[in-house]
Amino acid sequence: NAGVTQTPKFQVLKTGQSMTLQCAQDMNHNSMYWYRQDPGMGLRLIYYSASEGTTDKGEVPNGYNVSRLNKREFSLRLESAAPSQTSVYFCASSTPRDKGYGYTFGSGTRLTVV
Amino acid sequence: AQSVSQHNHHVILSEAASLELGCNYSYGGTVNLFWYVQYPGQHLQLLLKYFSGDPLVKGIKGFEAEFIKSKFSFNLRKPSVQWSDTAEYFCAVKPPSGNTGKLIFGQGTTLQVKP
């Protein structure tokens, strides 16, 4: 099925460990995003990529890095995990404005940092 | 700071009651507006969106929203809720600047519908 695939679905890290969250879409979208969801705070944009080879900071980029490996893949890296990064992470891709900014979300990665 | 605010954090209703969830934003200029729903254990799904034209927008599952430009508001309504509407609801704004579709989300409203 066409969509956005995220791996892993669950992860527990110790403080200071690093990891990369993977995201891939097969809808040929140019734009991709990483959001984090925390109770009472909605979704907050971490980084986004308007097209292959470009990335930009969102609302809460500190402690994260991203790579837009190709048009399909957009990964999020935590270099040194902190308990404040415990969250649910969603990757998404979207169509452009003339197609109505149609977002497709992945199923999420639930990350716990202890 | 520019933002999106949802006034109600947790709403409890009985089936058949009417629903209105508030959403205000602080961006000037032309914005695009969205409401998303997240059912328990699932990812976000689009309920409806406003780009231009008729400020009363109809979405899926009987939901509608009204854009009031002078009030910077985009409130979500449903005349009669069902138990299956229990979910978290997010208002989102595409700010005027930039060509990407990056969205700024509100804090979310948890709706609990009692049978």
Which contiguous run of DSSP H or E holds residue A44?
strand A42-49
| Shortest CA gap A105–chain B (Å) | 6
B16-75 tens-digit pLDDT: 999 999 999 998 888 899 999 999 888 899 999 999 999 999 999 999 999 999 999 999
Q: Looking at the predicted structure, is the pLDDT value of residue A1 above 70? A: no
A92 closest CA partner among A52, A47, A53: A47
Residues of A with Cβ-Cβ distance to B44 under 8 angstroms: 43, 90, 103, 105
Distance (Å, whole) CA A80 – CA B105: 27
Return the DSSP state at B37.
E
| Shortest CA gap A91–chain B (Å) | 10
Residue of chain A with shortest Cα separation from B91: A42
Chain A interface includes B114 (CB < 8 A): no
pLDDT band, residue A97 (cuts 50/70/90): confident
| Shortest CA gap B7–chain A (Å) | 12
B56 against B97, higher pLDDT = B56
* Beta carbons of B101 and A31 less than 8 Å apart: yes
Distance (Å, whole) CA A33 – CA A48: 4
The pLDDT assigned to B2 comes to 66
Return the DSSP state at A73.
B
Q: Determine how many CB atoms are found less than 10 A away from the CB of residue B61.
A: 12
Q: Looking at the predicted structure, is the pLDDT value of residue A86 above 90? A: yes
Chain B interface includes A42 (CB < 8 A): yes
B35-46 tens-digit pLDDT: 999 998 888 999
Please give the average per-residue pLDDT across A33-44, as a whole number: 92
Chain B interface includes A106 (CB < 8 A): yes
Distance (Å, whole) CA A53 – CA A63: 21
Distance (Å, whole) CA B104 – CA A42: 9
